Structure 1
Amino acid sequence: MDEPTANLDPLVRNELLEIIQERIEEDNSSVFYSTHITSDLDKVADYLIFIYNGKIILQGEKDVILENHCIVRGKNELLSDDTKNVFVSVLKNSFGFEGLVFNRKEAYDLFGEEVVYDNINLEDILTYYTRGNKSEKNN
């Protein structure tokens, strides 16, 4: 299905998602669901494939993707060529850095308690992956 909930009001969107979920469970089937509405994916998806510019940029079980990724915030002095490698994308400004890491455990091994770790949702993950690898913006 390509964008099946686009242009639907929230109530009808939720009803349609419930119907899809029921059919998946009753028939033990799969649904290929193409959408930009990540909140729909939060509700019904088990496995995700993110495609950007015709290339697969991320795939896996939704829960594993959400578990492994997180936002890391800290002081700019903590960024180096070695520590930047754990980030999908990182932004710097005069207050510090914020970036998406694809391996929460590896980030913790690098930074320990010196940074803040925040959970992330699918929309944020997509945003970080598509805004460019290892981007830096100085404000």
Structure 2
Amino acid sequence: MLVRTFVAPSVVEGVGVFAAEPIRKGTRIWLYTPDFDRLVPLEWMTTSSPVMQEFLRKYAYPAPGDPDMLVIELDNGRMMNHSEEPNTDFTMITEGFARRDIAEGEELLCDYREFDPEFELLPSLLSEFAARRSGKQTGNGAY
């Protein structure tokens, strides 16, 4: 992460990443740094323990330019939650930007499909998205 952030409870899913300072639209907030982020072999998705596989499904994504590797971010970025209406832009894959001004204390949200074409929602979010699409609110209305 290139901006100050903190991890806290999220209405979207478990915990999330929040801005610890105001972030202006267009600010680069994240940069893929292979020397800092952890790269692991894709084969671990099938050869490691079930607990490790679950961790990888939740926190790892394909390494840019290397289809045989996965990225696990070491900073708060790995805790960023998915949104259908993100306030960040990761379409460049190796860089993330603020789509709009983001207030201090606001959760940073991204669209996982921008950097992981095989992204699937976790089961805990499926019912929330289904309810939202059908016009029904569930729980706290978060997605």
TM score, norm. by length of structure 1:
0.25
Tell me: higher relative CO, structure 1 or 2? Use CA pairs within 8 A at least 6 residues apart. Answer: 2
Structure of higher CA gyration radius = 1
Q: TM-score, normalised by structure 2?
A: 0.25
